[in-house]
């Protein structure tokens, strides 16, 4: 049974130092895979819907799960540093983990970039390299030290003379999050049913009749919508 969330203990301002909520409070995943095998949709597996996708999409997502690319862009030292950094910022503290480092590495190695960048920043591959150099030793720091570095990085408080720190944070987080949420395990975590083509979605109107027949059901110890309505009546 998941937490009820009735007391609001999961909200950022109600947690020490704004730490993320403990995923152990969510139910164990029973179908498919999610990061750390906890999630709000324990009986949902997006890959069970693969027969509804067109062949190209199906092959792409199947390969994303089954074929983790080897690193070709980052060297071993950079992999150790950035791997630890990405685990912290994405709250992936145990297996299974989405292989975000390898996915970013492939994107950088293949040169398939976003097609735009800040005018005062180097190309994204060079930005990632410089961030790895500035964070060197991150993997060897304590948990508290790592979180402090991430806090200062996100707030633009680090002093890097060759890189705009705030923009660097934006670049690496854009890259990390886009790769994370392109993975089917992340689809399972957020209850995203995957590509709408060619099957499409239906019942988009509000209310009980607006639930799609295949929409995954969240597992709450307490229905948050009903609870809010009752408490505000």
Instruction: Tell me the pLDDT tens digit for each residue of 22-41.
Output: 556 678 899 999 999 988 89
Enumerate the domain spans of the chain: 26-67+186-232, 76-105+119-180
- Give per-10-residue mean pLDDT for the chain (233 aa): 51 58 71 92 92 92 96 98 98 95 98 91 97 98 97 97 97 98 96 79 62 75 62 66
Instruction: Tell me the pLDDT tens digit for each residue of 98-107.
Output: 999 999 999 9
Residue 170 has, within 13 A of its CA and on its CB side, a CA count of 11
Structure tokens at 175: 């890259």
Answer whether 0.85 is exceeded by the pTM.
no
């Amino acid at each position: 049974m998941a937490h009820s969330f009735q007391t609001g203990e999961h909200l950022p301002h109600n947690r020490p130092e704004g730490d993320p909520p403990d995923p152990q409070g969510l139910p164990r995943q029973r179908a498919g895979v999610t990061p750390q095998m906890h999630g709000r949709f324990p009986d949902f597996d997006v890959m069970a819907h693969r027969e509804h996708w067109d062949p190209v999409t199906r092959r792409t997502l199947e390969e994303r799960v089954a074929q983790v690319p080897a690193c070709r862009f980052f060297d071993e030292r950079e992999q150790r540093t950035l791997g630890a950094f990405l685990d912290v910022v994405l709250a992936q503290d145990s297996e299974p983990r989405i292989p975000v480092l390898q996915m970013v590495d492939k994107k950088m190695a293949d040169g398939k970039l976003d097609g735009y960048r800040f005018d005062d920043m180097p190309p994204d591959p060079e930005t990632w390299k410089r961030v790895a150099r500035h964070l060197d030793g991150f993997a060897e720091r304590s948990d508290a030290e790592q979180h402090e570095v991430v806090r200062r990085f996100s707030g633009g408080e680090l002093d890097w003379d060759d890189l705009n720190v705030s923009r660097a944070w934006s670049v690496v987080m854009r890259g990390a999050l886009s790769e994370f949420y392109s993975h089917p395990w992340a689809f399972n975590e957020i209850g995203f049913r995957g590509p709408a083509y060619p099957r499409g979605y239906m019942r988009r109107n509000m209310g009980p009749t607006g639930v799609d027949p295949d929409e995954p059901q969240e597992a709450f110890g307490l229905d948050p919508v009903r609870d809010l309505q009752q408490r505000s009546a």
